[in-house]
Amino acid sequence: MTMHRLWHKGMTLLVDQSDIRWIPDPRPRIHDPGSTTLVARWSIPRPAALGSRSYGPSGPRPHPPAPTGMETGSRPDTPTRLDNVNAADLLIDAVAARPDTAASDIAVHWVDRDRLLTYREAVDAMARAAAVLDGFGVPAGGRVGLFAHPGLDYVVALLGTWRLGATAVLVDLADKDRFHELMTAAAPHAVVYTNDHFDYVRPTLAALGSGDSPTVFAGMDGPQEGTVGWLDALADATPMAEPPSTAPPDAAATSTNTTAANAIALTAPASATTRTHADLIEAATSVAARLDLTPDDATLCPTPLAQPFHLEASILPALMRGATAGLLKSWQPDDAWDAMDRNGTTVLCGTDAHAADLARVSAARGRSPSAFRIALIEADL
């Protein structure tokens, strides 16, 4: 079963819906010698393992290694979750909560390209993406295929999908050989893809791009044979002020069929590869609360965007608290350390290998990145 795992003060905290306890952790702590900065370890639970929680921006606070009360094994406060929210609303609510700084606070940072969107820019981009997808004929409750990597433009497409009330069908670039199988099974109303992989898209375009209700294919970097250009359409779009309808919390937000998700799904219910808006919000709320995120935080996540962990650990918790969600497509340990140091990254969301790389480079340089305080690790227990 997948549960929260927090590595703190030499112990591992396991949290499921019925139990919370400290157990000894035989592995050595990874930390800065002489510092209180920890590499903590967590995994994101499946929705059934989550309790109800609330979300929302919080005020300034110091960055402790763990939330208050965890040292004694007590459960932190768990206020009631807001049930009438879908994931797209988190961005809008963040702007409403901090109107004076929404034009300058960074919502999303694509570290590979050093491209930024402020909160106000992100809301505008999301509204444009929703308008484009609406123009493509995607209905509320429809499906949008995203053949994606952790890049800024794909996050915008994802947010626009949610704003329109549709489901994002996520396929990672690593699963390119299965793209045709996965997309034809999902039968999306539109597909946004990376142009470099058009050879993998072409058979699906031939199968779905014609007929009475053809799927619209949009190349991220411009039109190709039988497709339109996504960024061109985005630039020309009039932002959608209000969606025609709002997806309810129990509507599917994402459908993920990556190799990693399939490994879980073999022994788990089919819902293991589907997240409703309520699922995403509950998981992200748990992370935001337990990491005590504030607008001063900046995450960095190098895991595939097509895996739920990226959304639940990094993007959505950051948006809930007015923080910055950092995206990284290519992980090179020394370059990643430099980027974290330069950008003031406080939270790394990744795998055991990412944490080990960070520890190794930090040991070689004699310190952690300047603002780093904790790492959130994807794991199954």
CA 379 to chain centre: 16
Q: What are the sequence ranges of the domains in the chain?
A: 4-87+271-377
The 3 state secondary structure assigned to 60-111 is CCCCCCCCCCHHHCCCCCCCCCCCCCCCCHHHHHHHHHCCCCCCCCEEEEEC
- The predicted pLDDT at position 365 comes to 93
Stretches where the chain sits below pLDDT 50 are 1-81, 260-272, 380-381
pLDDT tens for residues 41-99? 444 333 333 222 222 233 333 333 333 332 322 223 333 345 558 899 999 999 999 99
Greatest CA separation for the chain: 67
Dihedral over alpha carbons 50, 56, 60, 64 (to 10 degrees) = 10
pLDDT tens for residues 114-140? 999 999 999 999 999 999 999 999 999
Sign of CA dihedral 145, 150, 156, 162: positive
Q: Are β-strands 143-148 and 167-172 bridged in parallel, bridged antiparallel, or unpaired?
A: parallel
Provide the percentage of residues in the chain whose pLDDT is more than 90.
Answer: 59
Taking the alpha carbons at both ends of the chain, their separation in whole angstroms is: 6
CA 282 to chain centre: 13
- The predicted pLDDT at position 51 comes to 29
What is the DSSP code string of 266-299? TSS-GGGGEEEHHHHHHHHHHHHHHTT--TT-BE
- The predicted pLDDT at position 376 comes to 84
- The predicted pLDDT at position 84 comes to 59
How far apart CA 121 and CA 104 sit, in angstroms, is 9
Q: Are 150 and 302 in contact (CB under 8 A)?
A: yes
Give me the long-range contacts of 203-207 (CB less than 8 A, separation at least 24). 204/179, 204/180, 207/180
Domain 4-87+271-377 has CATH 3.40.50: yes
Q: Are 246 and 86 in contact (CB under 8 A)?
A: yes
Which CA distances in Å does 41 have to 108, 267, 294, 323?
23, 24, 19, 20
Q: Are 120 and 95 in contact (CB under 8 A)?
A: yes
- The predicted pLDDT at position 311 comes to 94
- The predicted pLDDT at position 295 comes to 96
b/e map 41-62, b = 16+ CB within 10 Å: bbbbbbbebbeebebebbeeee
